[in-house]
Amino acid sequence: MKKLLALVLSLSLAFSLTACGGGGTSSSGSAPESGSSTSSEADGEKSFAGVKILHLISNTRGDGGNHDAAAAAVEKMRDEYGAEIKIVEMGNSAADVPKYLPTTLDACEEGWDYIVCGTAQMVEPVMEASNEFPDQKFIVYDAEIVRESEDQYPNVYSCLFKQNEASFLAGAMAAQMSDTGKIGFIGGMEIPAINDFLVGYIDGARYINPDIEVYSAFVGSWNDVAKCKEIANTQYQQGASLVFPAAGQAYPGAFEAGLAAQKMYLGCDVDRSISYKETNPEICEYMPTSVLKFVGNSIEGAFLRIMEGENIFGKHETVGIAENCVGLAENEYYEKLVPEEVRTKLDEIKADIVSGKIVVKSAYGMSQDELNAFKNA
Amino acid sequence: MNGFWSVIFSAGFVATIIRVTTPIIFASMACLIAKKAGVRNITIEGTMLVSALAGVVASAYLKNVWLAVLIGMLAGVGIGLFLGYFHIIMDTDIWLTGIAINLIANGGTVFAMFAITGDKGSTASLASLTVPNINIPIIKDIPILGEILSGHSFFTYLAIVSVIVMYVLLYKTPLGLRIRAVGEYSMAAESVGENSNRIKLIALALSGMFASFGGMFMSMSYASRFVRDMMAGRGFIGIAAESMGGGHPFGAAFAAAIFGVADALANVLQSFSIPSELLLMIPYLATIVGLVLYSIRRQEAEKKRIQKMRQSNTVKEG
């Protein structure tokens, strides 16, 4: 009996270990050998031939947002610059998240030149892997690697988006177009990036109308379309003239509620009108714009700078409207649904943000108390 | 807080509760019938997911929403029988099998969705159909009542009907009697020539059918597409509702409605600067409180029963 128990225990241990490591990098056998050349050999003509890039997605592809955009940028490195790439989807269920760290550590042993990963959930795995593998280069998007001293994490480049700036424009637009003086916001979960959207949105709305009421609520999930729809229903019922869902895959719920109530809503991360234009054009008729984050641009930009020989590692950058990394989708529906004087005003605001005349408030660096006080002000 | 009360005391809020409750009622009915037959079906969440996807995909390709509902239903029945085959025929552990099926459903739906649409997030690229809402002729013109009772999804009315059907089935039909007999003590049922495996399989098939309605309500009525993991625990809340309902269809439906109220209230309260994480807890907190209350009630009933027995025993002895 004891022997059997021991066997079962050891087997389950062995299995769980392989499950951890295998979760992401199951094909470690086929991983490239280490010690390959880096970008510097490609002078003149920009090329990434022989460079090996690994993209660890802390989700699966098909999020229709940041990870998809990042993966597309990594694929572009392969298609246009000849890099050797691999994209690993680590999933985002409760069972997957604990595997992020072991998967990252495993990946460091496989000899990739660059590991691309993103979002706040990857910050801790990258910090730990960076200490353990000081030669491994990391490119982190949509998150900040906080350094206590300047020479900490010299192998990590991280880049944060000023989604608050794009969101500021959205808020300013919503406030100008609102006939009720009330607008809504639906977040997926209360994480820094989503709060940053919210803070910018409120800030922009108050810039136009200091007395505006902004309802904000969270779905508590990235997938619960039904709950998103109910929250949107509630906000429309309370008089919100426009709802901005920054809620991952749950956003269609807000669109459906808005369509039924014949009120407006915004897309988030990518221009949502593109995917609806063919299949469901009436959805677009109530979507004046989408709040965009060009995650792909920033990753591509980072690689181009590496190709030019610049050392971007050991740095953290925030990119916004000035760098053309966030903004509003100025598509045909924007022209059609947003009145011209509003568009002119938005262009002015945009110029003011770029010139620094308007400094948009950010949720990054705000304590929870400050955030609550700001929301309720 | 002015806005709060005007939202709470609106016909729309009651309609919201009815909408939110619908999938939970189906889930609790699915759990109830299996439990009456003596099988703890924890695969309801997974069954809902599979049926939700099956319905959406079928409607996109067949261009007939009722045919799609039928296919989604068959998918649900299939999973019920799948569980039955392993647990009843092959005698596997019900919890392990249930967990396995839930995990398969979770990953399998994403896999199937990717194979069909090339997208792992949602079925946005499929032009799927939705089940129509039903306006009840005369009632819809009554001012407040009309807004509350009319214009809901076909599935919402089906949920109400299925609670009644469940009651009739369990307590007024020979099949119901057999199911309950097998669930109470299958050996006794077998001693009078009943095939308990067959009865259990029938109950599980019905359980899968009810779960499939809940799933299709989510993807073909509440929302108009399938998104991975879109049940977000409603199947499990249905199981809790069934327990709170004390094993009776009406009790289960009432408990489901309590969850509906909690959920709808949480949505409304969020607009009034109460911390969202606290509010998102409400439905789950309600589950635990409900289960504790139910357990206390049951224990006291048990105590009384034992006391009564003791008394009658002493009387006899004396």
pLDDT tens sequence across A179-225: 999 999 999 988 888 999 999 999 999 999 999 999 999 998 888 99
Task: Look at residues A93, A98, A107, A103 and name the one whose alpha carbon lies nearest to residue A32.
Answer: A107
Using the predicted structure, report yes or no on whether residue B193 has a pLDDT greater than 90: no
Query: Cβ contact (<8 Å) for B227 and A223?
Result: yes
Using the predicted structure, report yes or no on whether residue B285 has a pLDDT greater than 50: yes
CA neighbours within 13 Å on the CB side: how many for B119? 17
Closest CA–CA distance from residue B278 to any residue of chain A (Å):
11
Query: Cβ contact (<8 Å) for B223 and A217?
Result: no
Closest CA–CA distance from residue A339 to any residue of chain B (Å):
29
**B260 close to B86: Cβ distance less than 8 angstroms:** no
Distance separating alpha carbons of residues B99 and A195, to the nearest angstrom: 35
Which residue's structure tokens are 């700078």?
A: A305
Question: CA-CA distances (angstroms) from residue A113 to A35, A46, A303, A311?
Answer: 8, 17, 12, 14
| DSSP structure class, residue B130 | -
Q: What is the pLDDT of residue A18?
A: 41
Q: How confident is the model at residue A2 (pLDDT cuts 50, 70, 90)?
A: low
Q: How confident is the model at residue B228 (pLDDT cuts 50, 70, 90)?
A: confident
Give the one of B232, B268, B276 whose C-beta lies nearest to A224's C-beta.
B232
Q: How confident is the model at residue B205 (pLDDT cuts 50, 70, 90)?
A: very high
Distance separating alpha carbons of residues A108 and A331, to the nearest angstrom: 42
Q: How confident is the model at residue A337 (pLDDT cuts 50, 70, 90)?
A: very high
* Disruptive mutation site among B26, B59, B106, B120 for chain A (greatest number of A CBs within 10 Å): B120
User: Which residue would you say has higher pLDDT here, A191 or A174?
Assistant: A174
Q: Helix-strand-coil percent breakdown of chain A, rounded to 5?
A: 50, 15, 35
Task: Look at residues B172, B166, B183, B221 and name the one whose alpha carbon lies nearest to residue B40.
Answer: B183
Instruction: Please name the helix (run of DSSP H) or strand (run of DSSP E) that holds residue A319, with its range, or none.
Output: strand A316-319
Distance separating alpha carbons of residues A328 and A95, to the nearest angstrom: 35
Give the one of A62, A217, A253 whose C-beta lies nearest to B119's C-beta.
A62
Q: What is the pLDDT of residue A28?
A: 36
Q: What is the pLDDT of residue A248?
A: 85
Which residue's structure tokens are 């049940």?
A: B231
Give the one of A64, A220, A239 whose C-beta lies nearest to B121's C-beta.
A64
Q: Helix-strand-coil percent breakdown of chain B, rounded to 5?
A: 80, 0, 20
Could you tell me how many CB contacts below 8 A there are between chain A and chain B? 106
Closest CA–CA distance from residue B86 to any residue of chain A (Å):
22
What's at B218, amino acid-wise?
M
Query: Cβ contact (<8 Å) for B267 and A190?
Result: no
Report percent pLDDT > 70 for chain A. Answer: 88
Q: Which residues pair with A243 in a beta bridge?
A: A184, A265
What's at A190, amino acid-wise?
E
What is the CA A77 to chain-centroid distance, rounded? 20
Distance separating alpha carbons of residues A80 and B92, to the nearest angstrom: 53
| DSSP structure class, residue B312 | H
Using the predicted structure, report yes or no on whether residue A13 has a pLDDT greater than 60: no
Q: What is the pLDDT of residue A40?
A: 43
Q: Is A6 exposed, middle or buried (0-12, 13-18, 19+ CB in 10 A)?
A: exposed
Q: How confident is the model at residue A36 (pLDDT cuts 50, 70, 90)?
A: very low
Using the predicted structure, report yes or no on whether residue A154 has a pLDDT greater than 80: yes
Token duo for residue A343: 């568009």
| CB atoms near residue A10 (< 10 Å) | 10
Query: Cβ contact (<8 Å) for B225 and A252?
Result: yes
Closest CA–CA distance from residue A273 to any residue of chain B (Å):
12
Closest CA–CA distance from residue B281 to any residue of chain A (Å):
10
Tell me which chain B residues have a C-beta less than 8 angstroms from the C-beta of A224: 230, 232
**A344 close to A309: Cβ distance less than 8 angstroms:** no
User: Which residue would you say has higher pLDDT here, A325 or B207?
Assistant: B207
Query: Cβ contact (<8 Å) for A217 and B124?
Result: no
Closest CA–CA distance from residue B54 to any residue of chain A (Å):
18
What's the whole-number mean pLDDT along residues B21-34?
96
Query: Cβ contact (<8 Å) for B273 and A372?
Result: yes
User: Which residue would you say has higher pLDDT here, A14 or B122?
Assistant: B122
> Which parts of A26-142 fold into alpha helices (H)?
66-81, 100-108, 123-132
User: Which residue would you say has higher pLDDT here, A299 or A61?
Assistant: A299
Tell me which chain B residues have a C-beta less than 8 angstroms from the C-beta of A233: 12, 16
Using the predicted structure, report yes or no on whether residue A31 has a pLDDT greater than 90: no
First to last CA, chain A: 66
Task: Look at residues A63, A56, A90, A95 and name the one whose alpha carbon lies nearest to residue A223.
Answer: A63
Spell out which chain B residues touch chain A, with contact meaning CB-CB distance below 8 angstroms. Answer: 3, 7, 10, 12, 16, 19-20, 23, 106, 110, 114, 119-122, 124-125, 127, 218, 222-225, 227-230, 232, 263-264, 267-268, 270-271, 273, 275-277, 280
Query: Cβ contact (<8 Å) for B264 and A224?
Result: no
Give the one of A61, A221, A231 whose C-beta lies nearest to B232's C-beta.
A221
Three-state SS at A153: coil
Q: How confident is the model at residue A26 (pLDDT cuts 50, 70, 90)?
A: very low
pLDDT digits (tens, 9 = 90+) for B99-151: 999 999 998 999 999 999 888 888 888 888 889 888 888 888 888 888 888 88
What's the whole-number mean pLDDT along residues A286-310?
91
Distance separating alpha carbons of residues A42 and B233, to the nearest angstrom: 52
Distance separating alpha carbons of residues B233 and B213, to the nearest angstrom: 16
What is the CA B230 to chain-centroid distance, rounded? 15
A4-18, A333-347, B265-279: segment of lowest average pLDDT: A4-18
Question: CA-CA distances (angstroms) from residue B171 to A7, B165, B300?
Answer: 49, 10, 26
Q: What is the pLDDT of residue A77?
A: 92
Question: CA-CA distances (angstroms) from residue B209 to A349, B30, B48, B76, B212?
Answer: 56, 7, 9, 5, 5
Sign for the CA dihedral angle at A331, A336, A338, A341 comes to positive
Q: Is B10 exposed, middle or buried (0-12, 13-18, 19+ CB in 10 A)?
A: middle
Q: What is the pLDDT of residue A22?
A: 37
Three-state SS at B151: coil
Q: How confident is the model at residue A369 (pLDDT cuts 50, 70, 90)?
A: confident
Q: What is the pLDDT of residue B194?
A: 85
Query: Cβ contact (<8 Å) for A230 and B124?
Result: no
Query: Cβ contact (<8 Å) for B232 and A249?
Result: no
ipTM, 2 dp: 0.84
Token duo for residue A139: 């490119």
**A184 close to A175: Cβ distance less than 8 angstroms:** no
Q: What is the pLDDT of residue B310?
A: 87
A85-94, A105-114, B42-51, B262-271: segment of lowest average pLDDT: B262-271
Q: What is the pLDDT of residue B9?
A: 79
Which residues, including other chains, have CB under 8 Å from residue B303's CB and lie 6 or more apart? Answer: none
Q: What is the pLDDT of residue B13?
A: 86
User: Which residue would you say has higher pLDDT here, B67 or A143?
Assistant: B67
Q: What is the pLDDT of residue A38?
A: 42
Three-state SS at B223: coil
Three-state SS at B94: helix
Using the predicted structure, report yes or no on whether residue B1 has a pLDDT greater than 70: no
Distance separating alpha carbons of residues A65 and A271, to the nearest angstrom: 9
What's the whole-number mean pLDDT along residues B263-287?
77
Distance separating alpha carbons of residues B105 and B83, to the nearest angstrom: 12
Query: Cβ contact (<8 Å) for B12 and A237?
Result: yes
- ∠ CA B247-B251-B253, rounded to 5°: 110
Query: Cβ contact (<8 Å) for B273 and A220?
Result: no
Q: Is A262 exposed, middle or buried (0-12, 13-18, 19+ CB in 10 A)?
A: exposed
Distance separating alpha carbons of residues B256 and B29, to the nearest angstrom: 10
The size of chain B, in residues, is: 318
Residue A308 backbone zone (phi > 0: left; psi -120 to 50: alpha; other: beta): alpha
Closest CA–CA distance from residue A219 to any residue of chain B (Å):
8
First to last CA, chain B: 66
> Which parts of A64-162 fold into alpha helices (H)?
66-81, 100-108, 123-132
Tell me which chain B residues have a C-beta less than 8 angstroms from the C-beta of A227: 232, 263, 267
Task: Look at residues A263, A274, A209 and name the one whose alpha carbon lies nearest to residue A240.
Answer: A263
pTM score: 0.82
Using the predicted structure, report yes or no on whether residue B5 has a pLDDT greater than 90: no
pLDDT digits (tens, 9 = 90+) for B149-163: 888 999 999 999 999
What's the whole-number mean pLDDT along residues A109-125?
91
Task: Look at residues B177, B179, B185, B174 and name the one whose alpha carbon lies nearest to residue B201.
Answer: B179
Spell out which chain A residues touch chain B, with contact meaning CB-CB distance below 8 angstroms. Answer: 60-64, 89, 93, 190, 215-218, 220-221, 223-227, 229-231, 233-235, 237-239, 249-250, 252-253, 256, 275, 279, 372, 375-376
Closest CA–CA distance from residue B231 to any residue of chain A (Å):
7
* Dihedral, CA of residue B222, residue B226, residue B232 and residue B234, to nearest 10: 50
What's at A117, amino acid-wise?
C
Which residues, including other chains, have CB under 8 Å from residue B94's CB and lie 6 or more apart? Answer: B39, B40, B42, B87
Q: What is the pLDDT of residue A264?
A: 94
Query: Cβ contact (<8 Å) for A226 and B230?
Result: yes
**A166 close to A326: Cβ distance less than 8 angstroms:** yes
Distance separating alpha carbons of residues A196 and A369, to the nearest angstrom: 15
Mean of all residue pLDDT scores within chain A: 85
Q: How confident is the model at residue A45 (pLDDT cuts 50, 70, 90)?
A: low
What's the whole-number mean pLDDT along residues B257-284?
79
Distance separating alpha carbons of residues A303 and B96, to the nearest angstrom: 47
Query: Cβ contact (<8 Å) for A226 and B218?
Result: yes
